[in-house]
Amino acid sequence: MADAADPSDPPPTVPAPSVTPRRDGPVVVEGDITLVAPDGTTTECTGRTFLCRCGASAAKPLCDGTHKRIGFTAPGVAPPRKPGP
C-alpha cells in the first residue's frame, strides 16, 4: 500500500512545454498542452504533439504526414528574433 502524500511536500513540478520546428516537417510540441479550436473546443495533449505547418494535413491542426508527399520544405529552427527597438 502506498504512503499518503505529505501535505507539506511541494507540488510536483511539470516542465514547460517546448516547441521545435522540424526541418521539412511539423512543429513538435513536447509537454502537456491544451489545443483550443476556433469554436472553443479543447483537446488535452500530453507527451509529443505534432502540429502541421505545411497547411496540407487533413487532420489540422495535427500533422498527418502529408508534408512528405507534397515535398514541403522549411528550416528546422525558427530564425533568431531581431532585437526590439
Site residues (vs ligand FES, CB under 6 A):
25-26, 52-54, 56-57, 63-67
Of 17 and 60, the one with the shorter C-beta distance to ligand FES is 60
Of 23 and 82, the one with the shorter C-beta distance to ligand FES is 23
For residues 42 and 39, what is the distance between their CA atoms, to the nearest angstrom? 9
The nearest distance, CB 66 to ligand FES, in angstroms, is 4
The nearest distance, CB 38 to ligand FES, in angstroms, is 18
Q: In what order do the strands lie in the sheet with 48-51?
A: 18-21, 27-30, 48-51
Give the H or E element holding residue 65. Answer: none
Query: Which of 12, 14, 10 has its CA nearest to residue 47?
Result: 14
The nearest distance, CB 11 to ligand FES, in angstroms, is 35
